[in-house]
Amino acid sequence: MLETTLEALAGQPDSLGMTKAMAFLLIAGLGLAMALIYIPLRVFLTVTARSRRLRLLQRIRRLRDELGQPVPPEGLPRG
């Protein structure tokens, strides 16, 4: 498909094919740029959110231990 696009760009200077090829390349380039930004950002935000959640849970458990209250088992529903 890329070869066809490049041939269209090289062989037809002002045709409809060149316009379509340029539009395709523009859209594909923007999609690639968005993916290169989105994927690392999403991974970073997920990792930091999990670490914040873990620190919060550890802090809650520490406070419960300080108060002398037993920590309920994880499998029981909370109510």
pLDDT at 74 over 80: no
Please state, in angstroms and rounded to a whole number, the distance separating the CA atoms of residues 20 and 27.
Answer: 11
Q: Is the pLDDT of residue 79 over 60?
A: no
> What does the alpha-carbon distance between residue 18 and residue 26 come to, in Å, rounded to a whole number?
12
Locate the DSSP E strands across the chain.
Answer: none
pLDDT digits (tens, 9 = 90+) for 13-54: 567 888 899 999 999 999 999 999 999 999 999 999 999 999
Please say whether the beta carbons of 5 and 21 come within 8 A: yes
